[in-house]
Structure formats: structure tokens, C-alpha cells
Structure 1
Amino acid sequence: MDVFEQIDDAAIEEERQALNYINPDQRKDRVVKGRPDNFNTWDDREFWRRFRLKKQTVELLLSLIQDKIEHNTERNQCVPPMHQLLLALRFYATGTFYVTIGDFGGLHNSTICKIVKRVTKAIATLRPNFVNLPENREEIIAIQERFHNIARFPRVIAAIDCTHIKIMSPGGDTAENYRNRKGFFSLNVQAMCTANLQFVDIVARWPGSSHDSLIFNNSAAKYRCDRGDFGNGIVLGDSGYFLNNYLLTPLSNPRTQVEQLYNESHIRSRNVIERCFGVWKRRFPVLSIGLRCKIPLAQDVIVAAAILHNLACSQSEGEPPSDPEVLIPQQPEFPPVYADNEGINSTSSTRDGIINYFESLITQ
């Protein structure tokens, strides 16, 4: 080895030391971070603000999914079920990166990824218990009475609409199917709700370019409506849906006082789904900020958030306190895209009967 080679080796060694070079064959020392007790650390209000659910609701939720997320042994510093649940709720409440959630909970970001998947899937399995259309006559009548108390619109069992949940580009040949008419990638999520702002149906599998009426036409809810499972119950939708005898849309050109009264009552009654979306997205800001995960997990998160929203409503929780650190982007609103001319101008014997009902109210 000549003197020049010795000088080169010495320079390389100095550079390695300066850059704190680590031998790739040398294993990194294992570090077990401290895990905070977030359930007991925060008072009730601060807990509610950070995790979007109250403590008693979280305890109830844990009792329902604990057997699905609990580890079989205590080996290898396993994460307790309560800690897993709170970290998943924190993800729903912020929509931030896994590494940030990991710093909050004292875990590596790869562990956070696994926890979010495990907890989300466990919550999604509760869907039959918390998100379902009315099953019997008593439930149908109770829902119809609550809708009637809003604007005297009769026989309504649900209001229906779609909302876009922002996602990352999924890549591949079909990525552009997820770009909606507002210009960003999304899932077009269909939901139906009652007058007390609880979801009774949710569909979260369609790309953002899908039309609202297409989603409904391929849904289980339409199949049940066609089968007559809800008796004389009707659903209220905007002008983007096809008019028929169980899904009523507003009149495009109301001419008489009766038709104007019908439209006013229809709009006020259907407005519950818009309010429901607003409360839902403010409760879980990840739905407004956007989901930076693969589509199957994004779909599970959307369904899980709907279940948690219904659970919070059943526990009489109000809307959580706002978090000033979470900035929810305001997305521009566009008028609905009409299904086609038939969806607007066609007639329906049910809608004619409802208009006659409003005429009787005027003449009384």
C-alpha cells in the first residue's frame, strides 16, 4: 500500500466518524420508550378534546372489542388494549402521520400502523350492532314521527346523500377513477341517517368519480326498498337521484304555493344528512383532512368512524370541544349533478300524494 492509498483510507475514516457512520451489520440497540397513561392523565374535558369520545364511552367501546385486540400473552412488551384503542382514536382525531402518533404514545411508527389496522377492523365488526336500517314496524314509526316533527313531512325513514372523503392517489391504471369532479382523489361515501343524526346505512367502497345515483342503485338499501321491507316508508334525496315511489326528490320548478311548501318541507327534512356529515367530520377530523393510507384501510376507517359517531350519539355525547391545533380544510361545495332529465321531471304517485297532503294542510 503506497502513501497515497494510506492518505485516502485515513480521509475516508475521518469522514465516516464525522458523519457518525454506523456499520450496517451492527444491530441497533433496542429502546423501550415510556408509555403514558393517557386515560388517567387527562381530565374529562381534555380527554374528550384529544380523543373525541368521553371516558365512559371509551370504556364501553373497549368492553366490546377487547377480546379482538388483546394479545394472547404479556411477552415482548405487548401494548395493552386501552392504550391501543386510545392511539387509534388519536389517529381519527388528528389524521396525522404514524410517527407523530408514535411519539404521543411512546411507540414506533410501524407498531402504530399495526395498532390502527387492528383496532379499526375490530370496531368495524360492530357495524351490525350500531349501523342498521329499521327492522320492524315500531322502529319505522318512531323514525317517521321524528322526521314529521321537523317540517311535517310524512312517512320519512331516512335522508340520503353522498360525501367525498379525501385520500391519496392509489396509483396504478385505475387511479384516475378516484379523482372526483372537485379535482382531488376521494372515496364517494353514501350515507343514510335519521332525524337524530344517526347513521342507518353507509357505503364506503366507491371511487370519487362514481355518481351518487349509481352508488344507490347498487346498494343493499335499494334492494330492501324494492322488496318493501319498510312498508310505506320513503327516503328523501336531492336532485341527483332518480325519482321513484320510495325515494323522493324536490321539484325542479315549483309553480304553486303547495309545490313550494312541498319543496320547503323536503329541504328542511333532508337537511339532517348535511348536518350529520358536518358533525361527523368535526368529531373525527381525519375524515376532513384526508386519509394517507391504502384504500382498504381507508374504507375501514370510514365505517369505524360512523360506528363511533352512532355510539357517541347513543351515549348522549355532544360535539367534542374544538382543537385549535387541528385545521379542517374547507372544501368547496358544488350543486348536485342531476341523474338525468327523467330523474328530475318524471312523476311519482307517492310524490303526488305527498303534494296533495300539503294542499290539505293549507286548506285547513
Structure 2
Amino acid sequence: MAGTLMSSDSDSDLEVLEQLSDWDNEDTDGDEGPSGSRRSYCRIDYTQCLTDAEFTFRFRLNKAAVQLLLSEIMPHVKVTCNRNHGVAPLHQLLLTLRFYALGTMLISVADFVGVSKSTASRIVHDISGAIAILYNKYIVMHPNHVDKFFQYGQFPRVLGAIDCTHIRIQSPNHTIGEEFRNRKGYFSLNVQAVCDADLKFMNVVARWPGSAHDATIFNNSVLRAQCEAGTFGNRWLLADSAYPNRCYMLTPILNPSARNEQKYNDAHIATRNLIERTFGVWKRRFPVISLSMRLSLENIQKVIIATAVLHNICRIHNLQETPAEVQIPFQAMDDDDLQTVGVQDSRDRTELIEAYFSTM
């Protein structure tokens, strides 16, 4: 599908969505006029007043992608007036996307649509949950990129590249807060992900505190059970030295001494670098996950999964990477926290080095 993902009818289609209900013309957030009648709040039709480039910059997706996404989440969006105070589904989605783009205080995006902070919080909760429901549709493990991975580092039989990244959060509370303090001293969730050769997520685990070791997350994952059951055939995950070396997961050699070992490491690094690139594109497009989120743990997990789904939607539709509208701290883009676990099963790795990399 073309990078612009636009058809000649997209604006008119969005206009129809904009007019799906009359809720968008009234905000029942507690304010009433002098006669006791509801105060009307006229919301801006951003699909009409912004060019597609301006729209994409503010909402991280273009108009056609928003149209498609809205149609997919509609079955999961609560549209009763009492729940979200008269905000139409389209504006609920735009408010949430704006929050992902800014990663700022909820009051800022609440003002953007003209609702209270509490209403904005409920909308972000509901819409993030609705988008996260699409996980199984857009984030899928598949063994189809062996040839594409090979083009990056001439590494054979690669299933995917796996790594963890820390997503900053505020301390949840004094009781469990220290569980979320990572080795670098700040509070975070340690999020594990696997990517394919097109920088799309194939697996995301976003429930572990920052103190959790990368290997612990993997060892307790469904992905490990699938790998050990041979679900993906004779293919390898490429991981750094924070992970265990297994017959289905290969890690670098810590101190290469031979030429074929160095070739193995070079190919491994060139291919595994794709997961670092994936994290970078994800965090730049959705700065909310690069800054310290001030939400409940449940909402943070929903935002992480939702933005991962949106990242894949952007990659599937070839949407160009959008520069961050806010400044992202450098450490948020380079937060590798390597904790070596050592080699535990190096037979497959040794055979690969001797049989393949010795002949290169």
C-alpha cells in the first residue's frame, strides 16, 4: 500500500465518521449555562482544517490510517454520554493519539479537545485498551523473513531479533515502587520485544518491573515455550548476552579469539541491530514511551501495547517516520542495560561458526 495511504474519498469518509453522532457538539463535563442548560463546545474538525502532512505530524498517523483504525476499534469504544462526556469516537481517538505524540500532562491534551483531565484520563484508558485489543491482528510471530534478515548480515535461518528496553514511569507507590527501580536508578517497565526484518514487532511483553532481568522475562514468556516446542522450526532468535544461549537463541561470543568467531559476531551484531532500530523508530514516533509516564500501571501497559500496534500499522502502510514534536531525552533512546548471564548451551553456536562462518 502506498506510503500516503490516501484515497480521493478519504476526507469525505472521515467527514461521515465525524457526523456519526451529535455527542461531539456537547460536552457534559459539569459546566452549565446560566439557565441551567448544557454548555455547547464546538470542537475543531481537524480532518478538514489540516493538510495530511500537518495531520500526520500532530497525530502520528495520516487521515486514512486514522479512518481505518477508527473503524477497527469502534466495536470496543464506549460511546455513551455518561462515560466519556459527549466526546465522539473520532475525537476520543484523536485526543489519545495527541497524548501519544506529546507524552505530556493529561491536562494539555484535555484542553486540546475541550474536556476535563478526568475525562481525558478515561478516554486514554478506553482508547488505549481498544487499540491494544488489536494486538493479535497486528503483532504476530512469523518465520517468513529469513531471506530479508540474511541481507543485513549474511546470518542464516534468523527468526527474529529480541531485546528489552526500559520504559520510564513514575514510582507506582511506596509499597512496590522499588521493584520498578532498574539498575540505572530510575523507575521503569522492562519491555521485551521481537522484531522482523521490516522493523515490525512480532512479540511484545510489557508487564515486568524495571528490576527484572531480561533472561527472567524471556524464561517466563509464552515465546520461550513456543521456541522449545519447535513452533518456528529450525530458526534462531538473535539476542545479546543478557539472554541464555539456546538451540533456538544465539548470543554473541564475549571474547572472540578466532577469525570465524569474529565473523560470527559481526554478522550477529549487524542483524540484531534491527531490534535497536525498531525501538528507535517506535519511540520517536510516539514520544509518550520515551518520557516518564504519569499513569496507573494498567494504563501504562495499555499505552505500550497500543503504541506497538500503531507502530506496526505505520510500518505495514509504509508511513514515513515522523519526527518527534517534543524533545526526547538521549538516554531514553539508548537505555541498554546489559546483564550478562553467560553461555549455557553453545553447541549449535559452535557448529554454526565451524560449518558456516569458517567458509566465509
Listed one character per residue, the Cα deviations across residues 110-133 of structure 1 (whole Å, up to 9, x for unaligned) are 211111111011001101101121
Residue in structure 1 matched with residue 74 of structure 2 by the alignment: 66
Name the CA distance, whole Å, in 2 between partners of 1:127 and 1:44.
26
User: Does the 8 Å contact 2:165/2:336 carry over to 1?
Assistant: no
Output the CA distance in 2 between the equivalents of 1:273 and 1:105.
35
Q: In structure 1, what is the Cα distance between the partners aligned to 2:31 and 2:62? A: 39
- Residue segments in structure 1 that go unaligned for 5+ positions in a row: 1-26, 135-139
Residue pairs, 1:131-170, within 5 angstroms: 131-134=139-142, 140=143, 142-170=144-172
Q: 1:108: how far off?
A: 1.7
Asked whether the equivalents of residues 243 and 340 of structure 2 are also in contact (C-alpha less than 8 Å), the reply is: yes
Are 1:113 and 2:121 matched, yes or no? yes
3-state SS, counterpart of residue 289 of structure 1: coil
Paired with 1:63 and 1:174, the residues of 2 have a C-alpha distance of: 39
Instruction: Give 1:79 shift.
Output: 1.4
Of the three residues 73, 76, 92, the one matched with 1:84 is 92
Residue aligning to 1:43: 51
Matched to 1:349, the amino acid is R
Structure 2 gaps of 5+ residues are 1-29, 34-38
Letter in 1 for 2:52: D
| One-letter amino acid of the structure 1 residue matched with residue 279 of structure 2 | F
Q: Give yes or no for the alignment of 1:329 onto 2:329.
A: yes
Distance in 2 (CA, whole Å) between partners of 1:300 and 1:82 is 19
Larger radius of gyration: 1
Q: Separation in 2 of the partners of 1:48 and 1:314?
A: 16
CA-CA distance at 1:321 after TM superposition:
3.5
Q: What SS class does the counterpart of residue 255 from structure 1 fall into?
A: coil
**Quick one: which of 230, 240, 252 aligns to 2:254?**
252
Matched, 1:286 2:264: no
Q: Deviations over 1:2-40 (max 9, x none)?
A: xxxxxxxxxxxxxxxxxxxxxxxxx96454433111222
Partner residue, 2:17: none
Judging changes above 3 Å, is the alpha-carbon distance between structure 1 residues 232 and 101 closer, same or farther for their aligned structure 2 residues? Answer: same
Does the CA contact (< 8 Å) of 1:143 and 1:156 recur in 2? Answer: yes
Counterpart pick for 1:271 among 266, 273, 277: 273
User: Which is helix-richer, 1 or 2?
Assistant: 1
Partner Cα separation in structure 2 for residue 269 and residue 357 of structure 1: 19
Question: 1:2-81, aligned counterparts within 5 Å?
Answer: 29=32, 31-72=39-80, 78-81=86-89
Q: Which runs of 4+ in 1 moved over 6 A?
A: 73-77
What's 1:305 paired with?
307
| Equivalent position of 1:191 in the other structure | 193
Structure 1 residue 359, shift from structure 2 partner: 3.6
Determine what percentage of the aligned residue pairs are the same residue.
45
Q: Alignment length, in residue pairs?
A: 324
| In structure 2, distance between residues paired with 1:75 and 1:240 | 45
Normalising by structure 2, we get a TM-score of: 0.86
Matched ranges for 1:203-242 at <5 A: 203-242=205-244
Following the alignment from structure 2 to structure 1, what is the Cα–Cα distance between the partners of residues 282 and 262?
A: 31
CA deviation map 1:127-157 (0-9, x unaligned): 11011212xxxxx2x3111111111101111
CA deviation string 1:157-200 (max 9, x = no partner): 11110000001111132110000111111000000001110000
**Maintained 8 Å contact 1:245/1:350:** yes
